Amino acid sequence: MLNTNDKAPEFTLPDQDGHDISLTALLKDGPAILYFYPADFTPGCTREACSIRDLHRELTRAGVTVAGISPQSPASHKRFREKHSLPFTLLADEKKEVIKMFGVNGPLGFWVQRVTYLVDQNRVIRGRVKAHFSIGEHEDFIRQSVLLRDTPT
């Protein structure tokens, strides 16, 4: 699993509309929250996505882009995004290539670990949280990312 201060690998994945999106494109206007999750429409993943949705206005104001990554298809992501009014990009990693690059694949490759990263514009990981069942830990991490971003240097 990638850690703080590691360089995030470049990647390109299709979004919920089938458009290819690269990490570079996600970072063009500022840092990004990349959150890896096991599956669309599951209770924990739905709670997590909706908690990020509810923080999205603050994230946008802070100049932070959000993208969720899981192994479902673009069509599944589109339905999930529409059903829960998610205003951010969902990326389809059906072959789990990016999931493996970030080291968030589960034991024996059967599932995806719930991990959230803050990546700066130089592709350096500035923070990370891993918590499979505590959605609140991910939400707190994202709130901290926004607060850190809003703090003058």
Point out the residues that are catalytic. Answer: 45
Residue 105 burial (CB count, 10 A): 19
For tokens 């909706």, name the residue.
50
Q: Is the distance from CB of 86 to CB of 53 less than 8 angstroms?
A: yes
Q: Is the distance from CB of 93 to CB of 104 less than 8 angstroms?
A: no
Tell which phi-psi region holds residue 34, choosing left (phi > 0), alpha (psi between -120 and 50) or beta: beta
